[in-house]
Amino acid sequence: MAAPMMRKGAALRSCLERSCGLSRRSPVFYKFIRRCTTQASNSDTVESSESEISSHADNGVPRPGVDLRRFSDIQEERRQEALRSVLVRHVGKATEDELTKFCSHFGEVQNCFTYGNQELYTLLEYKSRGSVHSLLNTSHFRSILEILPYRSRLLCFRTSNWMDNASRRPGMGEMTADQKFSILATKLCAAQSMEEQMQILVRETQLTEGETRLRFLVCSLVEDAITGYFPGCIVHPFGSSVNGFGNKGCDLDMYLNLNVEQHRTKKKKSFPRMEYEVRTVPTERAATQNLLSTVGQSLAEFVPSCRQLQYILHARCPLVKFMHEASGIQCDLTSNNSIALKSSELLNLYSRIDPRVRPLVYAVRHWARMHHITSSMPGGWITNFSLTALVIFFLQYTDKPVLPAIDALKGLADKTDTCVLEGNDCTLMSDLTKVPPSENTDSTDELLLEFFEFYSNFNFKNCGLNLRTGEMQEKKNFDALYIQNPFEQQLNLSKNVSMHQLEKFVQLAREAAWMAEQPDFLQPEVGSKGGVTPWGLVSILSGHNRRKKRLMDQKEFTPIFDSIKSGNSKRNVGPRIHLTEPAKFKSVLKSAKSRADKRTKNGNRR
Ligand code: GTP
Ligand code: MG
């Protein structure tokens, strides 16, 4: 086995040296090559981040690398970390060492994450919150004109030679999406199997520990500012920053909770009594719009680093968008949106129940983004949330389910998990150890191809998806895509999706399924210019396929996009994109795999 792997390593090395400009001596390079030439010992687990822990479930089944803590405990721990942290901009020549040394005078520094190119920033976490107060007590306002009514934990650190900017790193310039994908594709093409490609995709694109902390800190900084107006409020992150499926650079969804529940009188009302004088508003929605408008203005006027405020107050869910410049994170602030936080908890639970879920969702989300199926712009596109629901439903519905239905998760809840939000029962179990492992043994790449196969043939016209039962249901209206909202069960969470976008999704799923059938699907090939021709996951992500290219060159193949653009998207491009029968599907993948293995063993890599 060692010989072909070495050959692969050598071919890869020369290919990578040419395409990435990596030096032979680079340790990163050799680490990478070693990883590529070593068979993954446990290929169905994603490399665990610092915060992840190895645990055993109650039923004795080991779940390596899975964090089994309760979602609420993880959130609270992150929140406390953020409260013990400050974000510091380096001015001029100030280095990380000088900063850490200076900050150590106020208490023990527990963690430091430095980032940025032209402008350096350090997220610095103290062991105790008191140290943050000590640091703030000795910090200065630069000018009396700049004094704010609150002390921000976004600081800047100057040393005596701050006038000299020569030490600033040269700007690297933002890479284009194509450049980023080309680097990622090179790494994916160097993998041993499609399953490993899916693992690499997660590792390369997921939020890092530092990025996750930064997101909680940004919420905490915004909370500091709003607390001046609304004491006791909490700003929670939700969406992909916490649901286990976050990508580098994804937006930060924030939910401003005014904690009004604590002000509701619990005692029986009696007379005489004293009441607060309040301004009344006609509806709860109007109150939310007023609140966000006020908060937005104060962020724009007084809070450093909050720029490019946009008020989107008439959307179904009113929000304020802004750019947090110090972190480079695009933020969406909402209020009165506690169910969205619960939805994130649900996705987070699913992301940890089975180790195949994250690689699968990352691959599908990446595929959808590359093919412009999803978009962050409001419109008829499938949102990442709906797309993730499609993956979860497929995993619930497949023979031998990989994931349990939501009702089954509710059945495992204990008393402390009971949760009713805005009149909706949102109870979920929080103890992951109670979920029995799935009997399904399919690999992640098999599941990915089965996903495409499943939705290539799904009867969207008549059937809706019910994640609570894990079953299909009769559609209740004429919406193109019907996915019952898990917590507000009378609503369709994908109501916005247009027929055109749904057709595009189905056509591209068919194309992906077709690609997997091609004889060269799992065969890497080093081209004449030294680049590796896309194979496996890269073919699916990029839509590149050698046979398709040949067919297109020969004008035998009608591109799917053309048929959609011409408004004739119902036209069946099927004869050329021939779909495999579900039963045949796995055997196609297996035979492609064994063909690729044979080639590797024979050292027959061109
Ligand atoms: P990214 O695209 O990486 O930001 O993924 P995301 O999961 O954060 O999605 P997004 O920012 O679009 O949405 C954030 C949250 O808003 C989700 O977790 C949901 O709670 C909610 N949401 C988003 N899209 C929909 C939708 O189509 N329907 C409903 N009901 N809620 C949605
Ligand atoms: Mg988001």
pLDDT value of residue 289:
95
Q: What's the rounded Cα separation, in Å, for the pair 95 and 497?
A: 49
Task: Identify which of 134, 305, 111, 123 has the alpha carbon closest to the alpha carbon of residue 222.
Answer: 305
576 CB-near residues (< 8 Å, 6+ apart): 551, 556, 557, 558
- Of 205, 236, 253, 479, which is best to mutate to test ligand 1, by the most ligand atoms within 8 angstroms of its C-beta? 253
State the closest ligand 1 atom to the C-alpha of 347, by its place in the atom list counted from 1.
Answer: 18
Among the atoms of ligand 1, which is closest to the Cα of residue 250? Answer: 3
CB atoms near residue 534 (< 10 Å): 21
Give 387 Cα–ligand 2 centroid separation in angstroms: 13
393-447: pLDDT as tens digits: 999 999 999 999 999 999 999 999 999 998 999 999 999 999 999 999 999 999 9
Pocket of ligand 1 from Cβ distances under 6 Å? 238-240, 243, 247, 250-251, 253, 340, 343-344, 376, 383-386, 485, 493-494, 496
Mean pLDDT of 71-77: 96
Mean pLDDT of 274-302: 90
Nearest alpha carbon to residue 157 among 138, 180, 181, 182:
138
In tens, the pLDDT along 377-391 reads 889 999 999 999 999
Distance 172 CA to ligand 2 centre (A): 26
28 CA to centre of own chain: 25
Average pLDDT, the chain: 80
- Label residue 205 by pLDDT band (50, 70, 90): very high
The count of other CB atoms within 10 Å of the CB of residue 117 is 12
Which pLDDT does position 240 carry in this prediction? 97
Least confident of 298-312, 541-555, 566-580: 566-580
pLDDT cut 70: percent of the chain above it? 73
Ligand nearest the Cα of residue 338 is 1
pLDDT, tens digit, 9 for 90 and up, residues 117-142 = 888 999 999 999 999 999 999 998 87
Ligand 1 centroid to residue 376 C-alpha, Å: 9
- pLDDT confidence tier of residue 175, bands split at 50, 70 and 90: confident
507 neighbors 560 (Cβ within 8 angstroms): yes
**250 or 61: which leads in pLDDT:** 250
Mean pLDDT of 69-89: 96
Structure tokens at 357: 């879920």
pLDDT of amino acid 562: 38
The pLDDT, as a whole number, for residue 533 is: 80
**How many angstroms is it from 347 CA to the middle of ligand 1?**
11
Q: How far apart are CA 387 and CA 392, in angstroms?
A: 9
The CA-atom distances, in angstroms, between 201 and each of 108, 216, 361, 399 are: 36, 24, 11, 26
Task: DSSP for 17-68, please give it.
Answer: HHHH---TT-HHHHHHHHHHHS--TTTTSPPPPTT---EE-TTS-EETT---
Which residue has its alpha carbon closest to ligand 1 atom 17? 239
**What ligand 1 atom has the least distance to the C-alpha of 241?**
8
Report d(CA 271, CA 274) in Å as an integer: 9
Atom index in ligand 1 nearest the CA of residue 343 equals 20
DSSP 581: P
Closest ligand 1 atom, CA of 339? 20
Pocket perturbation via mutation, ligand 1, pick of 385, 422, 483, 498 by most ligand atoms within 8 A of CB: 385
Contact between 396 and 470 under an 8 Å Cβ cutoff? The reply is: yes
Residue 91 in this model has a pLDDT that exceeds 60: yes
Does the pLDDT of residue 605 top 70, yes or no?
A: no
Query: What separation in Å is there between the alpha carbon of 373 and the centre of ligand 2?
Result: 16
CA of 115 to the centre of ligand 1 (A): 27
Report the residue among 238, 376, 383, 390 best suited for mutation to probe ligand 1: largest number of ligand atoms under 8 A from its CB.
Answer: 383
- Average pLDDT on 163-190 reads 73
Closest residue by CA, ligand 1 atom 25: 385
Start-to-end Cα distance in the chain = 18
Provide the token pair at 156.
């800047």
Whether residue 326 is predicted with pLDDT greater than 80 in this model: the reply is yes
User: How far, in Å, from the CA of 327 to the mean position of ligand 2?
Assistant: 16
Contacts of 600 by beta carbon, 8 Å cutoff, 6+ apart:
4, 8
Q: How far is the CA of 532 from the centre of ligand 2 (A)?
A: 33
pLDDT digits (tens, 9 = 90+) for 516-530: 888 888 887 766 666
Helix (H) or strand (E) holding 601: helix 582-601
Nearest-atom index, ligand 1, CA of 246: 3
Name the closest-CA residue to atom 15, ligand 1.
239
Q: What percent of the chain has pLDDT over 90?
A: 59
- Of the listed ranges 11-15, 220-224, 285-289, the least confidently predicted one is 11-15
Between these two residues, 487 and 19, which has the higher pLDDT value? 487
Kindly report the protein residue whose alpha carbon is nearest to atom 13 of ligand 1.
239
Interval 56-67: pLDDT, tens: 544 545 466 678
Burial readout 383-406 (b: 16 or more C-beta within 10 A, e: otherwise): bbbbbbbbbbbbbbbbeebbbbbb
Q: For residue 496, which atom of ligand 1 is closest to its CA? A: 27
How close is the Cα of 44 to the center of ligand 1, in Å? 27
The per-residue pLDDT for 118 is 81
**Distance in Å, CA 346 to ligand 1 centroid:** 13
**What is the per-residue pLDDT across 12-67, written as a single tens digit (0 to 9) for each?**
333 333 333 333 323 332 222 223 323 333 333 343 443 334 445 445 454 666 78
